[in-house]
Amino acid sequence: MTNVIRLNVPLPRDARAARVGHLVDCFAQHRRGSEDVFWLKENAEVLNILECTGARVDPAVLAPHQAFYDRIEKRLGFFLQYYRFLLSLCLDLEDLGIGGNKGAALAEWVARQGLAEAELSDLQRAEARRLTLRRGIDALPEDTGLTERLHRFIDRSATFSMPNKKAAYELTHIVFYLSEYGRRDPQVSAAALESLEYAGLLAYLEQNADLLAEICVAQRFAGATPSPIWERWLEAETHRFRAEAGPQVSVNDDYHDYLVCNWAMAVAGRDNFRQQMAPGRMAFHRSRGAQGPLRAMSECMFRLEDARSDDWEKMRGLVEQGLSEDGYEILTEAEASSPRFGSFFAGFARTSLMGAAL
């Protein structure tokens, strides 16, 4: 038996601590076992968002994590492949006020073991460096070119005018790490800001709230202001979440969308995590809205082959013909959301690459 909790009814202000407590307890004890790597992922995300938004957490709220924290060095010594999750959890628990100082020793141990040197991805190396630097230790002191390589990746705005979710999420996380999650100027270029805008247009055209929320957070961390059209839509989507509570609810849910949408609201100074919570196990679901026109636009452009153009004004009519009423409205909003829509479409059309594979 499950209860559906409508999350669009805010509780009084003095209930915020209880809401946060239910959220932390739910992920710590009621969704998965702590031996599950997805438990590490989910809890690292919850605590990271609370920590980087400056949430005030009563130490009692962190009590469900106390046993985990007490033995975290044992876990790290065995599950070396999860060292980034484990170190992140340790540091956030300490910075939120669990009462301990293991983080510095663990960061030093990670650096001494060379765990970051086993990473193939610059993104993962950047995360490892960011984590250990939280305690004043550089896990990669000899990699002097890492920051430059990260900037080179995000400066290539053409990458982000074409659908590529992996690249888009990497873009946002690079900005998170370079900005220390909003604590310092990431010194990104105008080209990188263009990359974020292109990625945001794709996310809006797809109606992908999860990705668009991360992009809006990254824009604010980079000193830019997201499109009001994007943030208004995200605010509406954030308040459309509902929770199911009960011991049998499935955790194959929209929890990540829920977390990052509320994170985006917090960073924008809007109401966040205002929804009613329940003790115990919860699953988070968002009502599905209209389907975005991105797929239909891509199919149209592909079918046109040599007849396609990178000029949006010339292609508008052909593209719009294949869209539903909802798709047309979303496309119109996307165009209005960014003065760079024309240059974005020029990259999206990929006319400069026609025949290149031959």
pLDDT (tens digit per residue) in 236-295? 999 999 888 999 999 999 999 999 999 999 999 998 888 788 899 999 998 888 899 999
Q: What is the mean pLDDT of the chain?
A: 93
Q: Which residues pair with 245 in a beta bridge?
A: 3, 282
Residue 350 has pLDDT above 80, yes or no: yes
The whole-model pTM stands at: 0.93
* Coil, strand or helix at 236: helix
327-340 pLDDT, tens digit per residue, is 999 999 999 999 99
Give the other-Cβ count within 10 Å of 306's Cβ.
8
Among 49, 6, 12, CA closest to 267: 49
Residue of higher predicted confidence among 250 and 1: 250
Element (H, E) at 86: helix 83-96
Residue 357 has pLDDT above 60, yes or no: no
Give the pLDDT confidence score for residue 275 in this predicted structure. 76
Question: In the numeric block, which tokens belong to residue 60?
Answer: 């009692």
Give the other-Cβ count within 10 Å of 76's Cβ.
22
pLDDT band at 140 (very low <50, low <70, confident <90, very high): very high
Residue 200 has pLDDT above 90, yes or no: yes
98-125 pLDDT, tens digit per residue, is 999 999 999 999 999 999 999 999 999 9
Mean local confidence (pLDDT), 71-83 = 97
Among 126, 127, 135, 63, CA closest to 93: 63
Do the Cβ atoms of 165 and 127 come closer than 8 Å?
no
46-58 pLDDT, tens digit per residue, is 999 999 999 889 9
Domain ranges of the chain: 31-144
